[in-house]
């Protein structure tokens, strides 16, 4: 499902933020929704994660580009995704009387903004985060060896050097990658960056049982390193020279996507003495336009410009111009919307609640805008856990979900579809998303009879299912509606609502073995 999302901001500073959907091909085809409307905002790179802020007639810009090319999955590889809706994005469009001036003017320095979001990021540690709320701020703090240009469209998906001075030299057999660090790199605390920091960064990802760990287990010796149980041991497939800055990586098999793996946030370089533990409350120094100077989980985190990064002068990675960004965690979306109306907040990332939307449009028409996002909101089914380890059950769910009904819970911001891939992405097929959907027209009511028959064929009638969701509005309502639909097709579903701050850590933990959510 793609959404026609909302922009809502304080009259002065504002931020345009783009979301990233972490798409991994599910074992079964999936159903999704997209927005029905074409919308527009000020010219910005919403597809690549560029953040903008307007201050009066001046434009302040910082960028955070994330790409999902060549990803492998950990838990997500075990999941048949039933894509149901689009993620929630807010952008800040300029006032109607200054949009033309500032869009063509030069960016200006300075200023502070305060924004809000409903959920605490899963982690503020680059080795651990696996959600948009965590990826977006950390992408501004931790730069990997490789990265992506801060431009919109297809050009934003092209690999460029990050902390490496050039793209990797790859051996003819595709097994060896050689890179060299740029000269003069320093972390935000002033500590010089050395080549061995890269190996330590990867060791943290592996040791912390991160969702990103499987991406790096293709490195020679990574599996043996984990099995040995000694965090300080070396990974045989990573050779570094701190004097020359050279890094050599050997793989167990050729993988053309590995360059993209090196550009993921997990590989954002941290110092070699960074502890092997979750550092959300005290994030380590990084190399990026910003640094995190305060982190109080479920309350707020603060990002400030990194003076060391600006000195590096890396032309492909713009420096931030806003001096300070405070992100407050406010569970009540109605309060967030009212705080923006009252000028207590500059910007809210989530859409205003459906019942407040008319008020927002009436009182702040020049500060609210809707636009289409390239993202997918979905429900997952764990294919390693009964009953969703049976393809018949997964098919039944696809036939039995009332997608238009779920879309209505999002105040018309979502539109039913049938594919996990959003429009504009390679591999998207509009026909498959509509008339050729194997589970019927997604814009029509479900086929409950067919779904119930499939459940009976699978022998799953009455099987108990726990449906996980978080307490963010309207996710809690969607979770309950989804559970009700599972009950209608013959399963025995009950809801487990978690706090948004711990939801992803919980369902992402293999010990939880979640069934669906």
Domains of the chain plus CATH, in order, are 1-117+330-517 (3.10.105), 119-293 (3.40.190.10)
3-state secondary structure 222-249: HHHHHHHCCCCCCCCCEEEECCCCEEEE
When pLDDT is cut at 50, 70 and 90, the band that residue 106 belongs to is low
3-state secondary structure 127-194: CCCCCHHHHHHHHCCCCCCEECCCCCCHHHHCCEECCECCCCEECCCCCEEEEEECCCCECCCCCECC
Residue pLDDT, tens place only, 352-366: 887 888 899 899 988
SS3 state of residue 93: coil
What average pLDDT does the segment 253-269 reach?
Answer: 97
Query: What pLDDT sits at residue 473?
Result: 78
When pLDDT is cut at 50, 70 and 90, the band that residue 154 belongs to is confident
From first CA to last CA, the distance across the chain in angstroms is 16
What average pLDDT does the segment 80-103 reach?
Answer: 34
Distances (CA, A) of 257 to 10, 43, 88, 141, 158: 41, 31, 28, 24, 12
Q: Say what percent of the chain tops pLDDT 70.
A: 79
C-alpha span between 187 and 278 (Å, rounded): 19
Task: Supply the pTM of this predicted model.
Answer: 0.74
When pLDDT is cut at 50, 70 and 90, the band that residue 229 belongs to is very high
Query: What pLDDT sits at residue 370?
Result: 78
Query: What pLDDT sits at residue 170?
Result: 98
When pLDDT is cut at 50, 70 and 90, the band that residue 98 belongs to is very low
Query: From edge to edge, which strands make up the β-sheet containing 169-170?
Result: 169-170, 176-180, 246-250, 238-241
Burial class (CB in 10 A: 0-12, 13-18, 19+), 178: middle
Query: What pLDDT sits at residue 349?
Result: 86
Query: What pLDDT sits at residue 47?
Result: 27
Taking residue 340's Cβ as centre, other Cβ atoms within 10 Å add up to 27
When pLDDT is cut at 50, 70 and 90, the band that residue 36 belongs to is very low
Res. 375: pLDDT tops 90: no
SS3 state of residue 396: helix
């Amino acid at each position: 499902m793609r959404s026609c999302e909302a922009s809502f901001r304080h009259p002065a500073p504002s931020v345009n933020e783009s979301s990233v959907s972490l798409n991994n091909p599910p074992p079964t085809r999936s159903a999704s929704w997209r927005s029905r409307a074409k919308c527009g905002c000020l010219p910005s790179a919403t597809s690549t994660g560029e953040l903008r802020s307007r201050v009066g007639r001046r434009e302040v810009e910082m960028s955070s580009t994330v790409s999902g090319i060549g990803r492998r999955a950990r838990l997500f590889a075990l999941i048949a995704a039933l894509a149901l809706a689009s993620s929630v994005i807010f952008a800040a469009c300029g006032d109607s009387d200054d949009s033309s001036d500032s869009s063509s003017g030069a960016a200006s320095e300075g200023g502070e903004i305060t924004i809000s979001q409903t959920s605490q990021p899963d982690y503020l540690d680059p080795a651990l985060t696996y959600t948009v709320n965590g990826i977006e701020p950390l992408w501004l703090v931790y730069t990997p060896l490789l990265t992506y240009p801060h431009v919109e469209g297809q050009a934003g998906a092209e690999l460029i050097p990050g902390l490496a001075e050039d793209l990797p030299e790859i051996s003819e057999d595709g097994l060896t990658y050689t890179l060299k660090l740029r000269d003069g790199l320093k972390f935000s605390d002033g500590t010089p960056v050395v080549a061995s920091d890269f190996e330590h960064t990867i060791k943290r990802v592996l040791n912390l049982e991160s969702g990103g760990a499987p991406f790096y287990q293709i490195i020679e010796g990574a599996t043996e390193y984990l099995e040995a149980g000694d965090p300080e041991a070396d990974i045989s497939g990573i050779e570094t020279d701190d004097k020359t800055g050279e890094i050599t990586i050997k793989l167990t098999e050729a993988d053309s996507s590995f360059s993209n793996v090196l550009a993921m946030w997990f590989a954002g370089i941290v110092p070699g003495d960074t502890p092997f533990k979750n550092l959300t409350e005290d994030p380590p120094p990084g190399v990026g336009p910003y640094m995190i100077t305060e982190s109080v989980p479920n309350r707020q985190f603060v990002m400030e410009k990194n003076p060391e990064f600006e000195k590096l002068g890396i032309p492909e990675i713009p420096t931030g111009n806003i001096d300070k960004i405070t992100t407050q965690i406010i569970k009540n979306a109605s309060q967030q919307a009212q705080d923006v109306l009252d000028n207590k907040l500059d910007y809210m990332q989530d859409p205003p609640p459906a019942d407040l939307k008319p008020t927002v449009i009436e009182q702040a028409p020049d500060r609210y805008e809707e636009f289409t996002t390239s993202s997918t909101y979905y429900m997952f089914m764990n294919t390693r856990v009964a009953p969703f380890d049976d393809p018949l059950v997964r098919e039944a769910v696809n036939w039995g979900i009332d997608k238009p009904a779920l879309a209505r819970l999002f105040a018309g911001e979502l539109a039913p579809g049938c594919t996990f891939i959003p429009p504009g992405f390679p591999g998207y097929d509009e026909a498959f998303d509509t008339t050729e959907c194997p589970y019927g027209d997604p814009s029509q009511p479900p086929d409950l009879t067919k779904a119930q028959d499939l459940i009976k064929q699978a022998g799953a009638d009455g099987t108990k299912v726990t449906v996980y969701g978080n307490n963010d509005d309207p996710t809690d309502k969607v979770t309950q509606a989804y559970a009700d639909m599972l009950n209608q097709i013959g399963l025995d579903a009950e809801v487990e609502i978690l706090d948004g701050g711990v939801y992803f850590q919980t369902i992402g933990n293999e010990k939880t073995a979640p069934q669906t959510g």
